[in-house]
Amino acid sequence: MNSLKDAGHLFRLAAVFLAGIVLFLLARGFLVPKSFGQYGHYRGNALGELAARPVHYAGHQTCETCHTDVLEKKTAGRHAHVNCEACHGPQAKHADDPASETPTKLDTAVLCARCHEANAAKPRAFPQVATAEHSTGLPCDTCHQPHSPAIVAEAKK
């Protein structure tokens, strides 16, 4: 009994440690988000937050629901597999509110050259021109229709 009486300081020390551990667990319980560890060593809700960001490119399926005339023209020509927003840029706002958000008219002299300007690194089979010689800076839609670029209609006339 005497020995235990002398060990009083040890119990006090243990009590301090116990209090510390309880405090740590309490603080951890409050500070670590509930979804942490849901899928792994990270906050599971981060997935939902990343997925909730707004979309800027509407996707060609969205464009095609309204612009069926352009789709028809496009699928008949060489640009069949070029998606609308590849040239027209992000149009999600226009898709949400077609009346007030209208896409700007594109400058074909700049736009077409981005893909079709001759460059040694481009695949051989890809149609390329040196715009300086080919069109001398004229906008490409002077002769070509961007949605179906081959000049067939002209030849038929």
Partner 1 sequence: MNLTRRHLLLLLPAAGVAWKYVLAGTPEAAPNYKLSEHWWSMLIDLPKCIGCGNCVRACQQENDVPDGYFRTWIERYHVNDYDIENPVVDSPDGGKMGFPPAKDGSGKNFFVPKLCNHCADSPCTQVCPVGATFISPDGVVLVDKTYCLGCRYCVQACPYGCRFINPKTDTAEKCTLCYHRITKGLTTACCESCPTGARQLADLKNPNDPIHEFLKTHSVQVLKPSMATHAKVYYNGMDGSVR
58-86 CB burial, b ≥16 within 10 A, e <16: bebebbeeeeeeebebbeebebeebebbe
- Binding of partner 1 at residue 52 (CB under 8 A)? yes
**Residue 36 or 70 having the CB closest to partner 1:** 36
Instruction: Round to whole Å and give the CA distance between 109 and 91.
Output: 21
- Candidates 4-12, 19-27, 37-45, 97-105; binding stretch for partner 1 (CB under 8 A): 37-45
φ and ψ of 80, to 5 deg: -55, -35
Taking CB under 8 A as the criterion, the residue among 121, 154, 155, 156 binding partner 1 is: 121
Q: How far apart are CA 75 and CA 55, in angstroms?
A: 26
Nearer to partner 1, 12 or 122 (CB): 122
Nearer of residues 128 and 139 to partner 1, judged by Cβ? 128
Binding site for partner 1 (CB under 8 A): 30, 33-36, 38-57, 59-60, 81-83, 85-87, 89-90, 114-115, 117-123, 126
